[in-house]
């Protein structure tokens, strides 16, 4: 819908997102996190252009070298360039992080919205279901799925997607429970709108802020879980450049070549930290009380 | 009656207005109280306990009473926003409880509601234009251009600039938001609007503007109002007929003029005596009836007359027998064993 003219002068239309961005920008830690993530995404996308060697390519005679100009992160015991592997590893981590978070968000939103909106028996059933899922440790589930479907990126995505939605469902449910009492929702009911319209057009957009914040932090958590699973050998198979796998491979030589463990480990730490910082910044920036 | 205070609308009782539009019969609403480990029902809150009301076309029926007396619940029952435990609501002959989902959606065009809290009444994520245009899209399937035209017209009707359509609610004051809420209620050209405390959250200076707007809209569009309020000055200004509620029951009902000039129920008398009179000399000399204590819990209402615990006239009979609404004048009915008309209660 568009209206051609505005009263113009005193109040210009100020979209809610613009003011949120203004507040986010003032948070230095969050901006640092965001800068790191942007750099990481760019590096992952441009990996073939910013690395000199392939991630699985062994270099003759260059085994277990410390960082140098030729190999900024050194090389591992079979002569692969660690910098290349870390950069390509960002692709794996980000892919798994985003894909499984999308699965979690979709499931969490759906179950949380239905539970909070309808209440009663539906609510009880869904909440008991989340309790059941909470009782299953994701590592055990991952090992089970890896045993059945084989070790792969896909099975990791499915495992983490299926275990990550529980917190989201609870958050969405709580928002729906409080928002559905509000007068504008009652007004929508008085208008005779369909339940789907009320849930997704009137309640969901107002429940979105905690979801955005939680999802951002969740991506970081998923990347950490993925590293843990890879370390345990349940994740992607060697020679895939997954950070957790690299940490696992590097742990034997800690005394002589600490860089094999510390550099991919540092990549995990910084990435997870960056997601947490951005999530924190978003929470402050999106606080509806400030709008 | 003191001059300047009571200006009851219209010349005669509501009976001269149109035919019945909304007829509610013996409405009951209980809310279960849940407790214990398994959420078993441990008791019932009797919010509305047998209320019958009639609203005619073009008239204002006010529901008055203390907070917690069930007037807002009654308003929502009338619009089928909550389902009654017992009793029926007929809108223009249609029994709302028996309508199918589709029929009810269709019928909802004809009755709307305006809410109390101007800060909760509008979706903060939607522009005013989107809020006002949505019902036109959902019910009539209008295209954007036609909706925009109607939105302009609606904003103009409630005294807002059409250019406000692309603003968000947080850019408006409480009074302006309330006008938008009224415009939304008008969008589908309803015949009846429930006004749930439409001005009680507003500054007094803003209230008058909204009241005048509501009055003008009624005159121009022939709307029927159910006005839920606790501020009797507002009620006096807008009402044709009044129903006084206490603890889920109507204790007195009648044409506004009769009810305000000669209240018969002790509770109505006490309510009216609390209305300030804009003449300090009269105000100083008048007798105020101050009720002691709080209303009893609706989870455990008193036997017999529900008002007896706070009534200065209560006798043994009031404990034993619940008084029925009895006709005392034209359309003036009172539920009290010892009704006594105080002529000129404000004098």
Q: Whole-angstrom distance between the N-terminal and C-terminal Cα of chain A?
A: 24
- Ordered by start, the domain boundaries in chain A are 17-286
Q: How far is A55 from chain B (nearest CA, A)?
A: 47
Size of interface A-B (CB pairs under 8 A): 87
Please tell me the distance from the alpha carbon of residue A192 to that of residue B307, in angstroms, as a whole number. 38
- CATH class as words, domain A17-286: mainly alpha
Beta bridge partners of B94: B91
C-alpha A102/C-alpha A165 separation (Å) is: 9
Please list every residue in chain A whose beta carbon sits closer than 8 Å to the beta carbon of residue B172. Answer: none
> Residue A197's closest chain B neighbor by CA?
B138
What Å distances lie between residue A249 and A146, A220, A231, CA to CA? Answer: 20, 22, 8
E runs forming strands in B66-205: 86-91, 94-95, 111-114, 192-196
Q: Characterize the bridge pairing of strands B86-91 and B94-95.
A: antiparallel
Which of A12, A124, A187, A290 has the highest number of chain B CBs within 10 A, making it the mutation to test binding with B?
A: A187
Would you call B2 exposed, middle or buried from its count of C-beta atoms within 10 A (0-12, 13-18, 19+)? middle
Whether B5 contacts B277, CB under 8 Å: yes
The whole-angstrom separation of Cα A290 and Cα A247 is 43
Query: A11, B135: Cβ pair inside 8 Å?
Result: no
Close Cβ partners of A231 (under 8 Å, ≥ 6 residues apart): A244, A245, A247, A248
- Among B residues 87-146, those touching chain A with beta carbons less than 8 Å apart: 104-109, 112-113, 115-117, 120-125, 127, 129-130, 133-135, 138-139, 144
pLDDT in tens, chain B (347 residues): 334 344 445 444 444 556 789 999 999 999 888 766 666 777 888 889 889 999 999 999 999 988 888 899 999 999 999 999 999 999 998 999 898 889 999 999 999 999 999 889 999 888 999 999 999 999 999 999 999 999 999 999 999 999 999 888 888 999 999 999 999 999 999 999 999 999 988 888 889 999 999 999 999 999 999 999 988 888 988 999 999 999 999 999 999 988 888 888 999 988 888 877 777 777 777 777 777 777 888 888 888 888 988 888 888 888 888 898 888 888 889 998 888 765 555 54
pTM of the prediction?
0.80
- Within 8 A by CB and 6+ apart from B192, the residues are B21, B22, B55, B91, B110, B111, B112, B223, B224, B225, B226
Chain B residues 234-293 within an 8 A CB cutoff of chain A: none
Edge to edge, what strands does the sheet with B60-64 contain?
A: B111-114, B192-196, B224-229, B60-64, B241-246, B249-255, B332-334, B326-329
Residue B103 near residue B50 (C-beta atoms within 8 A): no
Is B162 close to A191, i.e. CB distance below 8 A?
Answer: no
CA–CA gap between residue A202 and residue A255 (Å, rounded)? 59
ipTM for this model: 0.83
């Amino acid at each position: 819908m568009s209206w051609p003219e505005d009263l113009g002068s005193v109040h210009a239309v100020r979209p809610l997102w613009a003011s949120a961005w203004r507040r986010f920008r003032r948070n230095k830690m969050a901006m640092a996190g965001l800068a790191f993530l942007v750099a990481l995404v760019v590096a992952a996308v441009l990996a073939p252009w910013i690395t000199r060697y392939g991630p699985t390519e062994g270099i003759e005679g260059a085994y277990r070298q410390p960082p140098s100009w030729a190999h900024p992160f050194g090389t591992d015991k079979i002569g692969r360039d660690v910098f290349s592997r870390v950069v390509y590893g960002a692709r794996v981590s980000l892919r798994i992080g985003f894909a499984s978070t999308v699965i979690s968000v979709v499931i969490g939103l759906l179950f949380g919205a239905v539970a909070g909106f309808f209440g009663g028996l539906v609510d009880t059933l869904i909440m008991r279901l989340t309790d059941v899922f909470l009782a299953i440790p994701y590592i055990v589930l991952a090992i089970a799925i890896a045993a059945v479907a084989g070790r792969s990126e896909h099975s990791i995505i499915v495992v983490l997607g299926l275990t990550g939605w529980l917190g989201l469902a609870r958050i969405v449910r709580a928002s729906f429970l409080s928002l559905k009492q509000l007068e504008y929702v009652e007004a929508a009911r008085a208008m005779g709108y369909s339940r789907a319209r009320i849930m997704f057009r009137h309640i969901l957009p107002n429940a979105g802020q905690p979801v955005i914040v939680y999802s951002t932090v969740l991506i970081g958590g998923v990347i950490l879980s993925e590293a843990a699973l890879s370390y345990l050998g349940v994740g992607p198979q060697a020679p895939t450049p997954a950070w957790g796998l690299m940490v696992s491979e590097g742990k034997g030589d800690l005394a002589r070549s600490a860089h094999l463990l510390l550099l991919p480990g540092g990549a995990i730490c910084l990435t997870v930290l960056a997601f947490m910082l951005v999530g924190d910044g978003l929470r402050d920036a999106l606080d509806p009380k400030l709008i | 009656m003191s001059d300047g205070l009571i200006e009851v609308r219209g010349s005669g009782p509501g009976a001269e207005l149109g035919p019945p539009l909304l007829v509610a019969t013996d409405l009951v609403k209980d809310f279960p109280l849940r407790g214990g480990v398994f959420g078993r029902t441990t008791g019932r809150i009797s919010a509305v306990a047998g209320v019958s009301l009639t609203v005619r076309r073009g008239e204002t029926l006010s529901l008055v009473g203390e907070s917690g007396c069930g007037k807002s619940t009654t308003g929502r029952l009338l619009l089928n926003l909550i389902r009654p435990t017992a009793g029926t609501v007929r809108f223009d002959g249609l029994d709302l409880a028996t309508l199918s989902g589709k029929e009810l959606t269709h019928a909802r065009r004809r009755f709307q509601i305006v809410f109390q809290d101007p800060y909760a009444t509008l979706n903060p994520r939607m522009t005013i234009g989107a809020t006002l245009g949505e019902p036109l899209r959902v019910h009539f399937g209008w295209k954007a251009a036609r909706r925009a035209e109607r939105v302009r017209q609606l904003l103009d009707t409630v005294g807002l600039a059409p250019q406000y359509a692309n603003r968000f609610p947080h850019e408006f004051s409480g009074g302006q938001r309330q006008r938008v809420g009224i415009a939304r209620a008008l969008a589908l050209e309803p015949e009846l609007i429930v006004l749930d405390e439409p001005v009680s959250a507003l500054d007094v200076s803003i209230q008058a503007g909204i009241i005048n707007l509501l009055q003008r809209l009624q005159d121009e569009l022939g709307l029927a109002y159910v006005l839920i309020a606790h501020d009797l000055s507002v009620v006096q200004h807008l009402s044709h007929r009044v129903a006084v509620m206490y603890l889920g029951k109507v204790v007195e009902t009648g044409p506004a003029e009769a009810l305000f000039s000669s209240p018969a129920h002790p509770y109505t008398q006490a309510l009216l005596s609390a209305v300030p009179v804009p003449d300090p000399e009269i105000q100083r000399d008048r007798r105020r009836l101050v009720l002691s204590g709080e209303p009893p819990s609706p989870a455990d209402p008193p036997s017999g007359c529900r008002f007896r615990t706070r009534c200065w006239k209560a006798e043994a009979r009031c404990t034993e027998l619940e008084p029925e609404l009895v006709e005392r004048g034209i359309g003036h009915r009172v539920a009290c064993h010892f009704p006594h008309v105080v002529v000129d209660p404000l004098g």
